[in-house]
Structure 1
Amino acid sequence: MDTRNIKYFIAVYEHLHFTKAAEELNISQPTLSQQIRILEAEFGTPLFDRIGKKVVATEAGHLLRQYGEKMLQAERDAKSAVKELLSGDRGTVRLAVLPSDLDFQLVPLFVQFKSKYPNIQLQVFSTIYVQDEVLNHNVDMGIGMKGPADKKLVQIPLGSEPYHLFVNSASELAARKEITLEELVQHTIVMYPKGYLGRDLVDKVFQDEGLELHTAMETSSATSLLQLVSAGVGATIQPKELLSQFPIRPDIISIPITGPRPVRHLELIYGADRFIGSSQRQLMNWLMDFFNNRFLNP
């Protein structure tokens, strides 16, 4: 069994269609079928059930997918380690971050990083499913909300950040120095839809206080939420430092929430079984310094 056949198997597993998998791999369908039969003969059990034109993974297929991904990742890690040994500060780093942090916080950092390490290719992916992207080996590391301890991950705390109320400078609330959750339920609020990390975090704090947050409008983008605030549609509850790097909306004012309030805890994560090369390590150090400075010097 070699990793080439594992790649063939995973392509079929993901598509559950031999012709589509063959097209992705740029090989013929008969060649792909033959390689899968070789794997099945080696394991002594079918990896897929073929019911007419329908392909379904067997229990053995599910197991092989789990361990096969680890084999492919180990191969990638080995190649990365040798490549970096020979090339120095080179390589590719794949990073997953929350959309609002990418849009409003991290771009200046990435510009500085690229200036100092021009030979490192940085690929940044915006997603609310940071942990899943890391666990599925789609990225090398991620920055997201703190999750439960997971032995498959290395989880490095980056700090905590309270949520504030963002209001239009012409709003009746603009002169307030602080505001409570009880008062917020009386005002027009625009937020992310339910199911988004930031929305669920805010909702839980309200629920813990026996309150319910009602929204006038919902959108999945922090940029669009701020546009709604700027247009006077409503106020929004967002992380305190959302506009610290890009104060592009002087018409928006941030008001602290007093008493029980939403707080997000951020962490940097990567796979516990991953090889972390020099390029990844350089970016990790920059990210940890950035967040440490931000939270220690608000």
Structure 2
Amino acid sequence: MDTRHITYFMAVFNHLHFTKAAEELGISQPTLSQQIRLLEAEVGMPLFDRIGKKVVATEAGSLLYQYGMKMLQAERDAKNAMKELLSEKRGTVRLAVLPSDLDFQLVPLFVEFKTLYPETNLKAYSNIFVREEVLSHKVDLGIGLRGPADKRLVQIPLGSEPYELFVHSESDLAQKSEVTLEELTQHALVMYPKGYLGRDLVDDVCKEQGVELDTAMEVGSASSLLQLVEAGIGATIQPRGLLKQHSTWPNIVSIPIAEPAPVRHLELIYYADRFVSKAQQQLSEWLIDFFKSRTN
């Protein structure tokens, strides 16, 4: 069983469509079908059921997919390790970060990283499903909300950060030293759409208190939310550090929310049994220092 056959299998598994998988791989559909039949002969059982025009993975196919990801990742790790022997500063580091943090917070750190590792390709993605991206080997590192312990992952706590109310400096709320969630039901809010981690975290705390917030507008970007606040459209509830890291919003002030206030608990995660390059290790250390200094 070689990695070429596994690559073919993974493409079919992801698409559940032989023609689309063949197009992705750059081979003909008959060739792909033949290679899958050879793999099925090798493992001694069918990997896909072909029901009319539909392709469905069998139990054996689902099992092989789990090990196939590990096999392909092991091959990538071996190649990366060999590259690092040639040059300590080559390679690629893939990072998934929650949207609000990637919008503003990390650009100076990325600049410093690129200065130290000019030949390393850093790819930073905005994603609300950070843990899933790490577990599927789509990224090397992730910064997300703390989740349950998982033996497949290295999980490093990055501290906790309360949410505060961001309002225009001319708002009636701007002079208050503290606001309650109940008070906010009387004010227009601009928020992330439901389903975003930050929004769901706030809604969960509100639900526990029997409070339901009304939104005047919902957008999926932290930058857009702050622009709406500055334009006087409404207030927003965001992590405290989002505003304190930047002086580009002089007309926005943040107000603490009375207990029980929403609080987010962050963690850095990466796969436990995979190769970690020196560049990735350096970036991890900087991210840990950055977020701990911001949240504690």
Question: Under a length normalisation based on structure 2, what TM-score does the superposition of the two structures give?
Answer: 0.96
**Structure 2 counterparts to residues 38-77 of structure 1, below 5 A:** 38-77=38-77
Aligned to 1:125, what secondary structure does the other structure show?
Answer: strand
Structure 2 match to 1:243: 243
Distance 1:188 1:214 in 2: 7
Shifted more, 179-188 versus 96-105: the winner is 179-188
| Aligned-residue offset at 1:85 | 2.2
Structure 1 match to 2:118: 118
| Aligned-residue offset at 1:123 | 0.5
Letter in 2 for 1:128: I
| Aligned-residue offset at 1:14 | 1.3
Structure 1 match to 2:162: 162
Structure 1 match to 2:29: 29
Shifted more, 47-56 versus 127-136: the winner is 47-56
Q: Which runs of 5+ in 1 are unaligned?
A: none
Aligned to 1:121, what secondary structure does the other structure show?
Answer: strand
Distance 1:183 1:24 in 2: 54
Distance 2:17 2:260 in 1: 52
Aligned to 1:23, what secondary structure does the other structure show?
Answer: helix
Aligned to 1:14, what secondary structure does the other structure show?
Answer: helix
Letter in 1 for 2:251: D
Distance 2:229 2:148 in 1: 33
Structure 1 match to 2:212: 212
Task: Give deviations 1:174-193, integer Å, cap 9, x for gaps.
Answer: 11122122222222212112
**Structure 2 counterparts to residues 249-288 of structure 1, below 5 A:** 249-288=249-288
| Aligned-residue offset at 1:229 | 1.0
Structure 2 match to 1:176: 176
Task: Give deviations 1:29-68, integer Å, cap 9, x for gaps.
Answer: 2221111111110111111112233222111111111111
Distance 2:259 2:8 in 1: 56
Q: Which runs of 5+ in 2 are unaligned?
A: none
Distance 1:33 1:184 in 2: 59
Q: What is the total number of aligned residue pairs between the two structures?
A: 296
Please tell me whether the aligned partners of residues 104 and 243 of structure 1 are also in contact (alpha carbons under 8 angstroms).
no
Distance 1:51 1:181 in 2: 54
Aligned to 2:103, what secondary structure does the other structure show?
Answer: helix
Structure 1 match to 2:149: 149
Please tell me whether the aligned partners of residues 241 and 295 of structure 2 are also in contact (alpha carbons under 8 angstroms).
no
Structure 2 match to 1:225: 225
Structure 2 match to 1:81: 81
Distance 2:132 2:247 in 1: 32
Shifted more, 267-276 versus 81-90: the winner is 81-90
Aligned to 1:110, what secondary structure does the other structure show?
Answer: helix
Shifted more, 161-170 versus 81-90: the winner is 81-90
Aligned to 1:102, what secondary structure does the other structure show?
Answer: helix
Distance 1:57 1:176 in 2: 58
Question: Under a length normalisation based on structure 1, what TM-score does the superposition of the two structures give?
Answer: 0.96
Please tell me whether the aligned partners of residues 92 and 121 of structure 2 are also in contact (alpha carbons under 8 angstroms).
yes
| Aligned-residue offset at 1:86 | 2.3
